[in-house]
Amino acid sequence: MIVLSSLTMTKSKSDTQISDLINELQWRGLLKDCTDAEGLRKHLESGTRKIYAGFDPTADSLTIGNLVPIMLLAHVKRAGHTPVVVMGGGTGMIGDPSGKSAERQMMTAEMVQHNVDSQRPIYDAVLGSFTGPDHVLLNNNDWLSKISFIEALRDIGKHFSVNMMMQKESVKDRLNNREQGISYTEFSYMILQAYDFSHLYGKEGVTVQLGGSDQYGNIVAGLELIRKTWIQIALKKTKQENPELAEKITNLPNDELDKLKMTDDQKAYGLTAPLVSKADGGKFGKTETGAVWLTANRTSPYAYYQFWLNSSDEDAANWIKVFTFLGQNTVEELIARHSENPGKRELQRTLAQEATTILHGEDAMKNAEAAGKALFSGEISSLDAQTMLEVFASVPTTEHAKADLAEGVDMVEMLKACNLASSNREAKEFLNEGSVKINGEKIGLDTKLTADHLLHDAYIAIRRGKKKWHMTKWA
């Protein structure tokens, strides 16, 4: 039997931060399905591998749910392998129908490219937060845009069974539960993603694809395409490296070609992680103000820190494994200490510190932590303008005329205007009780707001009781 050795990966010894990627993902709860667990384990042990995950540029940022496959790639790097990010500049023009109840709105090429460029810093932040093999960023538009329609039908489409494609959950759901069904454009998405894997396998030496559990069908489709076309892929390489072997293989009769088998080192693999959920059944990554995003312009480091800090005990015990790089012993000790003293919330605080540092850096994490302490204590005058605005981004805000401060603004009227009191009587009671603070300082009934109360020459924060805040802006 002839072995196409040109696809064999070279072995490489590298300093690794974790010794077994599969075991690491298992204890972290990041392993759901694997096309061949034992085969993949041997594959990873026998050489340095390139492993990829793809990301859809439907927005100029990614949500916290997208962080899971990025963390998978980070563990790939920790294990000494090369993580490859595939940004969907090509597939983003189509849109993955998985988990969607309606067809996505088509974006222009300029919009897709803008989103691709805007998402790049996220990958660099997470994958660049520790040492290891350099990560690789690729855009699938670079190869998908070069395929003609005829080539797609001849070289890719012929390997796919329509019957098989219609069994995919996302396709079945569209056919059965949506009046307009599914468009041919969406139906073709699986073929494009499968070709991504085949292209990366042949051109870049990528042998493993990662993704969420909802991507398992697409991953398997890519493996099938590789299996059906691997001889052609190998021949292209062999013609460059060993023309005599390539000619010998090309002249084999078809029945002999069919007998050629991949070596273990030439096989490709797929692995998925479970979709993250909340213990109470709520949707992960959703807050009262909307989705939690991975860029500071959409979700500030302070709001990001607070998301993790406010997690339940059960969620924090699961999420600290998924969204940090803390080792198993450290995590188990943290959970044990938390069980003894849950009121201290050490588990949530450590989760917030680690997760925020990974994405936004240590300085941003410390600012977010300081801002949270300032908000809790009410002593906010020390906050810089940007941090203060981040802290109060979700607090009710009203605008007022700065000129009114010259004569002093009556606090009874101000409490009513800010919906912190419903009547004059109630406002006076709050002021007499000492439950009203201006910028963290307690005031009384006789206090009037003046320009001396302004923070950063434009803001005054009013607090009633322990938690009810209102921000006033003066212009």
Q: Are residues 212 and 120 in the same domain?
A: yes
Q: 454 or 175, which is more confident?
A: 454
Number of domains within the chain: 3
Q: Is residue 278 part of a domain?
A: no
Task: Tell me the per-residue pLDDT of 305-327, one tens digit each, with 9 for 90 and over.
Answer: 999 999 999 999 999 999 999 99
Structural domain includes residue 279: no
How far, in Å, CA of 464 to CA of 440, rounded? Answer: 10
Tokens 């002021």 belong to: 431
Q: How far apart are the first and last CA of the chain?
A: 82
Domain housing 413: 397-474
Cα–Cα distance, 139 to 144 (Å, whole number): 9
Q: Indicate if 30 and 178 belong to the same structural domain.
A: yes
Note whether 377 and 421 are same-domain residues: no
pLDDT value at 254 more than 70: no
CB 82 within 8 Å of CB 66: no
41-94 confidence digits (pLDDT tens): 999 999 999 999 999 999 999 999 999 999 999 999 999 999 999 999 998 887
Q: Does 15 score more than 80 pLDDT?
A: no
User: Do 415 and 468 sit in the same domain of this protein?
Assistant: yes
Domain boundary among 226, 241, 273: 273
- Alpha helix locations (H) across 79-183? 109-127, 141-144, 149-151, 162-166, 169-177
Residues 6 or more apart whose CB falls under 8 angstroms from that of 280 comprise: 312
* Distance from chain centroid for Cα 329: 26
269 and 315 within one domain: no
Q: Is the confidence at residue 137, as pLDDT, over 90? A: yes
CATH for 382: 1.10.240.10
pLDDT at 12 exceeding the cut of 50: no
Query: Would you say residue 239 lies in a domain?
Result: yes
| pLDDT score recorded for residue 261 | 67
Q: 353 and 266 in one domain?
A: no
Which residues in 60-216 belong to E strands, given as ranges? 82-87, 136-139, 206-212
Report how far residue 66's alpha carbon sits from residue 194's, in angstroms, rounded to the nearest whole number: 20
* SS3 of residue 250 by DSSP: helix
Assign 273 to helix, strand or coil.
Answer: strand
20 and 153, same domain (yes or no): yes
Q: Is the pLDDT of residue 11 over 70?
A: no
* pTM above threshold 0.85: no
Q: What span, in angstroms and rounded, lies between the C-alpha atoms of 324 and 309?
A: 14
Kindly state whether residues 414 and 301 are assigned to the same domain.
no
Give the tokens for residue 33.
Answer: 């399905």
**What does the mean pLDDT of the chain come to?**
86
Residues 318 and 455 in one domain: no
Q: For residue range 382-416, list pLDDT tens digits in order.
A: 888 888 888 888 789 999 999 999 999 999 999 99
Of the candidates 318, 302, 470, the one whose C-alpha atom is nearest the C-alpha of residue 391 is 302
Question: Is residue 280 in a domain?
Answer: no
For the cut 90, the answer to whether the pLDDT of residue 119 exceeds it is yes
- φ, ψ dihedrals at 463, nearest 5°: -125, 130
> How far apart are alpha carbons 445 and 425 in whole angstroms?
11
User: How distant is the alpha carbon of residue 381 from its chain centre?
Assistant: 34
Give percent helix, percent strand, percent coil of the chain, each to the nearest 5: 50, 15, 35
Query: What pLDDT does residue 76 have?
Result: 96
CA 254 to chain centre: 46
Q: Do 215 and 344 reside in the same domain of the chain? A: no
Beta bridge mates, 195? none
DSSP lists the bridge partners of residue 272 as 33, 211
Tokens of 249: 């293989």
Q: Report d(CA 289, CA 276) in Å as an integer.
A: 20
Q: Are residues 327 and 459 in the same domain?
A: no
**One domain for residues 315 and 238:** no
- For residues 380 and 214, give the distance between their C-alpha atoms in angstroms, rounded to a whole number: 44
Under 8 Å CB-to-CB from 398, ≥6 apart: which residues?
Answer: 417, 418, 470, 471, 472, 473
Residue 172 lies in a domain: yes
- Show the beta-strand stretches assigned E in 225-376: 269-273, 286-287, 290-291
CATH code of residue 242: 3.40.50.620
Q: Which of 4, 85, 78 is nearest to 44 (CA)?
A: 78
Per-residue pLDDT at 34 exceeds 60:
yes
Mean pLDDT across 238-248: 70
Per-residue confidence band for 252, with pLDDT thresholds at 50, 70 and 90: low
How many helices, marked H, and strands, marked E, lie in the chain?
21, 15
Task: Identify the band that residue 99 occupies on the pLDDT scale cut at 50, 70 and 90.
Answer: low
